Structure 1
Amino acid sequence: MADTAGTIPQGSMTNSPTGNAAASMFDNFVRTQRESLRALFKRRRSNAGDVADSAKDFPFMSEIANSVVARCSRILDVPAAELCQRYEEEVPESIRQPPDYARIFIEFCSYKALSIAAKGPAYLSDKEFSRLTFDMMLAWEGPDAAIRSPNREPSSSKDEEDGDRDRWSLFISNSTRMAMEVDNQKTVTAEAFARIAPSCVPIADAIIAQNLFDALTASSSKRRLHFIVYDKYIRSLDKVYRVARNALGTSSSSLKLSEGEIVLDTDGTVPTMPVLQHIGISAWPGRLTLTNYAIYFESLGAGAHEKAARYDLATDIRQVIKPELTGPLGARLFDKAVMYKSAHMTEPVYFEFPEFRGSSRRDYWLSICREVLHAHRFSRKHNFRDIQQSEIIARAILGIFRCRASREAFNVSPTNYKTLLPYNLAECLPGGDMILEALLSRLELISIGNGREDALSPLSRRKKILKPVSLLALNQLGFSLIKPSNVDIEVTTTGDVLVGEINPLERAVKKSTSDIGSAEAAQATVEQVKVEGIDTNIVLMKELLFPAFALASWLEHLASWEDPLKSAIFLILVGFVIYRDWIRYVLPMVFGCLGLVMLMRRYFHRRLSLEAFRITPPPERNAVEQLLTLQDGLAQLEALLQAGNVFLLKIRALLFAVVPQDTERIALLLVIVAVAFAFMPLRYLALLAFVESYTRYIPSRRVSTERWLRRLREWWTRMPAAPVRLIKSDYKKNK
């Protein structure tokens, strides 16, 4: 582009005012793009002198590490040498061993500097802040001078200057080459992100740091985080916090929020994406708002929002929030709704989030509503009050803001195991209770104090006094959960991090996530074996229960005495087992044999893969035939329920002596059975019951047994049922 520009005649652009204006506009445009590309491809040139000076102070550290230490010393207003001296005094010698000396020093400087830099509500909007935190991650990955970090930038200043002159021409001539250069910039791994990002609580949390990294690098095949993606996330996060602060004043008048109540998200404000509230068979559009205490729904009236309906999430009223199907007139057609039910409600309410593809809106709102509910349940379970309770809720609020920012910036929809919400993650992980136990241990050590001791000082370590980092971070961002007199917003915090040590929360998360792979693999097999169709599922169940059906058929064949020899042998064997009181060993023998078979399969047939279970599905049916089959199945189920109710009502009639003669006979029979159980050994009773039931159809007893069963059926048929009266409910559903 520069060569092309040099061939343009000078007079064509300088001899006229129009040419001068065009040249000036073009020069300004090129200069602007050059400056932006400089910020994109390299660190600012203003830091070059600091890098050189710091490199002389710490020759054992890499260039990027010296740059980070220099910037941290400027933030702390402390010389780099004095910062190193403090590091050796405050960090135990057992932690700062030579292999990790530089890396732990980077952590120490970064945590100290971020505790000062992350103050005030506007630090996230500062471009230098996001650059600094990302460089801290780079320095953590490559702290030593002897180790060449991956994708290292050229060190030749002459090459950098020549490259700066050609940045703009490179962008115009070959955009693909520029994209490759952007991709070759330095990136960070999950380990560096998990060590640095949680030190700034609004950016990340120790519980969900790995999941947040996975969400930000979802489009990267190398699973490495680039600064462009990280900076976009920070800008989106800053936008979310600003919108939430602006919502404090605008929503309080219409919703009448209580003190310390913060609006976390709102939906239904766009006419093309409404939120429908279903109660009974009625549905009405409106605006849905979630706060840290409740869900609010404002129905759309004649051009304005009506009074908001409030659904509490904070008090213990046995709330249930789960996904549900909705549709017009109560039909269950669309899987795009969230159901809310509590003990104070006669029927549940459904919030539907219509969209053409998928159910991402519903899943997002389901997650954030459950996050608030889980946070309050965790607080009530352990009877936390004041500071501890506010810290629990503040952690949930920050998690929702992070989830909202990543969703708006990258349109990501994490799964249950990859959620960005800490309490939801603890609920869905296989060992999530360990995360809550570690969080409980941390909350028990929280104390505001006077706000003057350093969170990294040896004194605070000996006292094990922790700070409510999430609550303080919200206060610094402009959100107040409790009265300002109860918390000192000047306290410096660095999140749930310790220099050179693994946070207990992070350790608990690693233990809990160790079984995620097997859980996801098992769930994948479950999804694969699910078959569609009622007939197909019935056939599959019959095949799976074939051994039980075969055993029942064999016992029935023996009890019918069609083969007298086998039936007599079985009778003698079982009778002898019952008489010798060996029946108590039957179940242990069965379980022992099953365990032995499983162990033999485990060690002698482990190389053999399990064959797929084969079934022959029934012939395919059209929609009408399937509906008729379903109707026939429902009719059979209704008949079964009616028979069960009739049986219970006849028993009720016997108990309350509707037929006195029959009641006397049954009462006399029960007394005889009670006396038998009281005075006869149990094994004799069991032997008597087995012999009587097993020999009913022996040739000599078959006629008498059939006659006795016939009399019993006739007696039961003549038994009247207790009366039932249906009372219509006075409750009228909304129309």
Structure 2
Amino acid sequence: MENAMAVMWENITGNHSTPFKSIFQSNKSSSSEDVDSPNLIPQLSPLANSVVSRCSKILQVSTEELQHGFDSELPVGVKELLTYARNLLEYCSYKALEKISRSQDYLSDKEFRRLTYDMMLAWEAPNVECDPPQHDTTSCFKSEMVDEDEGSLFYSSSTNMALQVDADKTVGPEAFARITPACVLVADIMTVHNLFDALTSSSGHRLHFLVYDKYLRSIDKVIKNSKHVIDTSTVNLQLADGEVVIDLDGTNPTQPVLQHIGISAWPGRLILTNYALYFEPLGVGLHEKGVRYDLEMDMEQVIKPDLTGPLGARLFDKAVMYKSTSVAEPVYFEFPEFNANLRRDYWLEICLEIFRAHKFIRKYNLEEIQKSEALARAILGIFRYRAVRDAFQYFSSHYKTLLAFNLAETLPGGDVILETLSSYLTSVADKHVSGTIDTKMQQAVSLASVLTLARLGFVPLKEADIYEEAAVYGDVRVGETTQLEVAVKKSLLDTGRAQAAQATVEQVKVEGIDANVAVMKELLFPVIEAAGRLRFLASWKDFYRSGSFLLLSCYVILWGWIRYILPSILVFFASLMLWRRHFNSGRQIGAFTVTSPPNRNAVEQLLQLQEAIAQAESLVQAGNITLLKIRALLLALLPQATEKVALLLVFMAAAIAFIPLRHIILVVFVELYTREMPCRKQSSERWIRRVKEWWVRIPAAPVQLIKPDDSKKVK
């Protein structure tokens, strides 16, 4: 009976590999009877031996053959004594996962979920010297604890249930990042660390099996729902070749999607594909033909959150705005809901992910094969994001998105990650064109994401003759850290530093204009003090000090030493910083003390703010008047004044052309510095007064303000 069911399953899936259900059958099956009972590998721990044994049954080879393949296929550097056990475990795990991923429904099998979790547990304790687990890991997942239905105790309170699991049966981030990216449907190397943070946000940064199991079940549910969406949503759409429906919204009457254009609004359903957005207005009992909003071509698209409301009023922050050169005016898609704006945020992220994927394709001029792989990565990322969102009500914050191309836009060094990814895709395309595909695991080059979508039935599998037998290992390699992993880890390290620095910024922020002004004055105290001393010297209240400073400055200017002033200041600050670095290394910096200004009530703060705004307005107004008077001089509205200014400019040009620069600087410095000398003070004040009187007589050029046309089109 079991053999008959296996043959039936093979006919359904149509795969050339071993039927999936037979992979996890016990030794009673005929397929497993042909394989000798695997012998234990002495270098491995009991759990690692258990994982390798199951991998050998999946691959239909003995454990000795697996170990021999590891020893013969991989380079010497991977087989070092200290890392031999872990790399052998990775080798067996990757090969088994590659074979399993050729099936379509492997996520729905609890044995697959248990096996992959045991792979991560074994990765953390691969050596025989490691302490064995206190409990049997293969039996910690009881069928009585997790029911197949969503009404089980686990699904009712997943976090609380997960926290009751033994802490020894949890997985850390490194094991998760090394095993799960080998199955690209489960994780992507660019976002695997953020995925782990999302799954472990309530469990002390350790992954419990129940949480991991629920995540895989949710992915399986999302995949099946997406296939159903493709069957039901493409009736009125004319999709291009390779265009895949990713998600749609607005089918539920209680949760419509409203399209706002101008002051008009119309309900309908919104559909996202890997090339465009489609909005189908709701007609009488059915949806009309969809309007297409392109995300592929470079048409200066802008996608951002925005406000909408009835009759064009900007009241509710629940909309996504789309603007491009292909539309006459911005289009707003509103997602009405009572609780926050979670639907809007989700659609904003997935639309930006597709848009940024095409931006990445255009930037690096990717060809058809590379383009398909980049879009497939974006699609699988959206599926994973939906799975986490639906299962755990998770919504990403800054630096924590689960979408690869969105993450690259926000991470420090995200451009390096994308550049590394483009280099990888280019190498894939080159080997594809040459037709040389090395099937050995270390040199395996394949379009893992697009092949995964093809095997799931979302896109047709092209070039099947070349890639059907190629191994698909995602972006991980046994015992090696790929360039993409290096770029991601470097970016995450910089992100941690940026977040730590941002935390200090948030701590030192103070509220209130008075408090901020007090802090700024205290920080700029050395500069203010130096400026005050220069003003004191220029006032000539102490004749000997002012005279000495004048003679010293003239000597410095005449001998050309003034050019060394700025370098000397920079060297002084550099020396001060290095001295502090050497003698105060490891010491905590003391808090900067500032005397708090007297407290003001709300009315006083508003009045102070109004006064500050009025002062800023007067400064801007004075600047505009100055510019308008200069415009009047340039246009000769007052001919006599224009002639004087023109002669002055000619004289200044001649002086700059024929007189050495240090002599000009000397004359200007002496003129400004000696204005307050007793012998010059009266004449200087008279001369400044005449200049001001002359400036007042200069008329301002006329200005005419034209009100913009705020009328909007009604469609």
Is structure 2 residue 65 aligned with structure 1 residue 86? no
Q: Is the 8 A contact 2:189 2:485 kept in 1?
A: yes
> Aligned residue for 1:723?
702
Out of 354, 370, 378, the position equivalent to 1:372 is 354
Structure 1 residues 191 and 359: alpha-carbon distance in aligned structure 2, compared to 1, 3 A threshold: same
> Aligned residue for 1:512?
491
Report the Cα distance in structure 2 between the residues aligned to 1:303 and 1:692, rounded to whole angstroms.
86
Report the Cα distance in structure 2 between the residues aligned to 1:165 and 1:573, rounded to whole angstroms.
91
With 501-510 and 304-313 compared, the bigger mean Cα shift is at 304-313
Structure 1 residues 559 and 47: alpha-carbon distance in aligned structure 2, compared to 1, 3 A threshold: farther
Is structure 2 residue 382 aligned with structure 1 residue 395? no
With 396-405 and 684-693 compared, the bigger mean Cα shift is at 396-405
Q: 1:374 offset after TM fit, Å?
A: 2.8
Structure 1 residues 143 and 710: alpha-carbon distance in aligned structure 2, compared to 1, 3 A threshold: closer
> Aligned residue for 1:562?
541
Q: 1:409 offset after TM fit, Å?
A: 0.9
Task: Give the counterpart letter for 2:374 in structure 1.
Answer: I
Q: 1:597 offset after TM fit, Å?
A: 2.0
With 331-340 and 126-135 compared, the bigger mean Cα shift is at 331-340
Q: 1:680 offset after TM fit, Å?
A: 0.3
Q: 1:574 offset after TM fit, Å?
A: 1.7
TM-score (norm: length of structure 1): 0.80
Q: 1:428 offset after TM fit, Å?
A: 2.7
Report the Cα distance in structure 1 between the residues aligned to 2:102 and 2:487, rounded to whole angstroms.
29
Report the Cα distance in structure 2 between the residues aligned to 1:300 and 1:701, rounded to whole angstroms.
84
Report the Cα distance in structure 2 between the residues aligned to 1:276 and 1:239, rounded to whole angstroms.
27
Report the Cα distance in structure 2 between the residues aligned to 1:330 and 1:532, rounded to whole angstroms.
35
Is structure 2 residue 370 aligned with structure 1 residue 382? no
Structure 1 residues 599 and 95: alpha-carbon distance in aligned structure 2, compared to 1, 3 A threshold: closer
Q: 1:488 offset after TM fit, Å?
A: 5.1
> Aligned residue for 1:704?
683
Q: Is the 8 A contact 2:173 2:193 kept in 1?
A: yes
Q: 1:675 offset after TM fit, Å?
A: 0.6
Task: Give the counterpart letter for 2:596 in structure 1.
Answer: T
> Aligned residue for 1:572?
551
Structure 1 residues 331 and 408: alpha-carbon distance in aligned structure 2, compared to 1, 3 A threshold: same
How far does the alpha carbon of each residue in 1:654-689 deviate from its partner, in whole angstroms, 9 at most, with x for none?
112222222111111111111111100001011111
Report the Cα distance in structure 2 between the residues aligned to 1:372 and 1:212, rounded to whole angstroms.
19
Task: Give the counterpart letter for 2:185 in structure 1.
Answer: P
Structure 1 residues 79 and 327: alpha-carbon distance in aligned structure 2, compared to 1, 3 A threshold: same
Report the Cα distance in structure 2 between the residues aligned to 1:55 and 1:515, rounded to whole angstroms.
46
Out of 232, 252, 262, the position equivalent to 2:244 is 262
Report the Cα distance in structure 2 between the residues aligned to 1:85 and 1:589, rounded to whole angstroms.
67
How far does the alpha carbon of each residue in 1:407-435 deviate from its partner, in whole angstroms, 9 at most, with x for none?
11112234333332222333333333432
> Aligned residue for 1:599?
578
Q: Is the 8 A contact 1:454 1:492 kept in 2?
A: no
Task: Give the counterpart letter for 2:227 in structure 1.
Answer: R
Out of 169, 183, 186, the position equivalent to 2:166 is 183
Is structure 2 residue 190 aligned with structure 1 residue 225? no
How far does the alpha carbon of each residue in 1:71-125 deviate from its partner, in whole angstroms, 9 at most, with x for none?
3334333344433333333223442344443433332222222222112432222
> Aligned residue for 2:596?
616
Q: 1:601 offset after TM fit, Å?
A: 2.4
Report the Cα distance in structure 1 between the residues aligned to 2:336 and 2:619, rounded to whole angstroms.
39
Query: Is the partner of 2:695 in helix, strand or coil?
Result: helix
Structure 2's unaligned 5+ residue stretches are: 1-23
> Aligned residue for 2:9?
none
Q: Is the 8 A contact 2:268 2:287 kept in 1?
A: yes
How far does the alpha carbon of each residue in 1:303-357 deviate from its partner, in whole angstroms, 9 at most, with x for none?
8767766544332234444556777888888766655555667876666666666
> Aligned residue for 2:107?
124
Report the Cα distance in structure 2 between the residues aligned to 1:306 and 1:627, rounded to whole angstroms.
53
Report the Cα distance in structure 2 between the residues aligned to 1:238 and 1:185, rounded to whole angstroms.
27
Structure 1 residues 632 and 300: alpha-carbon distance in aligned structure 2, compared to 1, 3 A threshold: farther
Aligned residue runs from structure 1 range 344-423, under 5 A = 360-423=342-405
Report the Cα distance in structure 1 between the residues aligned to 2:260 and 2:545, rounded to whole angstroms.
64
Structure 1's unaligned 5+ residue stretches are: 1-43
Report the Cα distance in structure 2 between the residues aligned to 1:682 and 1:269, rounded to whole angstroms.
76
Structure 1 residues 358 and 730: alpha-carbon distance in aligned structure 2, compared to 1, 3 A threshold: closer
Q: 1:585 offset after TM fit, Å?
A: 0.6
Q: Is the 8 A contact 1:54 1:66 kept in 2?
A: no
Out of 205, 217, 221, the position equivalent to 1:235 is 217
Query: Is the partner of 1:225 in helix, strand or coil?
Result: coil
Report the Cα distance in structure 2 between the residues aligned to 1:122 and 1:364, rounded to whole angstroms.
27
Q: Is the 8 A contact 1:324 1:338 kept in 2?
A: yes
> Aligned residue for 2:195?
212
Q: Is the 8 A contact 2:428 2:447 kept in 1?
A: yes
Task: Give the counterpart letter for 1:701 in structure 2.
Answer: R
Query: Is the partner of 2:234 in helix, strand or coil?
Result: helix
Is structure 2 residue 641 aligned with structure 1 residue 662? yes
Task: Give the counterpart letter for 1:404 in structure 2.
Answer: R
Report the Cα distance in structure 2 between the residues aligned to 1:147 and 1:48, rounded to whole angstroms.
32
Query: Is the partner of 2:246 in helix, strand or coil?
Result: strand
Out of 170, 190, 193, the position equivalent to 2:176 is 193
> Aligned residue for 2:450?
471
> Aligned residue for 1:8?
none
Task: Give the counterpart letter for 1:210 in structure 2.
Answer: H
How far does the alpha carbon of each residue in 1:27-49 deviate from its partner, in whole angstroms, 9 at most, with x for none?
xxxxxxxxxxxxxxxxx994699
Structure 1 residues 722 and 408: alpha-carbon distance in aligned structure 2, compared to 1, 3 A threshold: same
Report the Cα distance in structure 2 between the residues aligned to 1:699 and 1:330, rounded to whole angstroms.
68
Structure 1 residues 671 and 179: alpha-carbon distance in aligned structure 2, compared to 1, 3 A threshold: closer
Is structure 2 residue 109 aligned with structure 1 residue 109? no
Task: Give the counterpart letter for 2:136 in structure 1.
Answer: E
Tell me the number of residue pairs that the alignment of Structure 1 and Structure 2 aligns. 677
RMSD: 4.1
Task: Give the counterpart letter for 2:296 in structure 1.
Answer: A
Task: Give the counterpart letter for 1:537 in structure 2.
Answer: N
> Aligned residue for 1:33?
none
Query: Is the partner of 1:536 in helix, strand or coil?
Result: helix
Report the Cα distance in structure 1 between the residues aligned to 2:580 and 2:84, rounded to whole angstroms.
51
Aligned residue runs from structure 1 range 36-185, under 5 A = 46=26, 54=37, 56=39, 58=41, 61-145=44-128, 147-153=130-136, 182-183=165-166
Structure 1 residues 319 and 533: alpha-carbon distance in aligned structure 2, compared to 1, 3 A threshold: farther
Task: Give the counterpart letter for 2:56 in structure 1.
Answer: S
Q: 1:401 offset after TM fit, Å?
A: 1.5
Q: Is the 8 A contact 1:141 1:192 kept in 2?
A: yes
Task: Give the counterpart letter for 1:149 in structure 2.
Answer: P
Report the Cα distance in structure 2 between the residues aligned to 1:154 and 1:233, rounded to whole angstroms.
19
Task: Give the counterpart letter for 2:243 in structure 1.
Answer: E
How far does the alpha carbon of each residue in 1:588-636 deviate from its partner, in whole angstroms, 9 at most, with x for none?
11111112222232233443532233241442322x5544444444343
Give percent identity, aligned residues only: 55
Task: Give the counterpart letter for 2:175 in structure 1.
Answer: A
Q: 1:202 offset after TM fit, Å?
A: 0.7
How far does the alpha carbon of each residue in 1:462-519 deviate from its partner, in whole angstroms, 9 at most, with x for none?
xxx7212111112112222896789856644121122222222222222222233322
Report the Cα distance in structure 2 between the residues aligned to 1:334 and 1:315, rounded to whole angstroms.
30
Structure 1 residues 489 and 154: alpha-carbon distance in aligned structure 2, compared to 1, 3 A threshold: closer
Structure 1 residues 595 and 110: alpha-carbon distance in aligned structure 2, compared to 1, 3 A threshold: same
> Aligned residue for 1:31?
none
Query: Is the partner of 2:179 in helix, strand or coil?
Result: helix
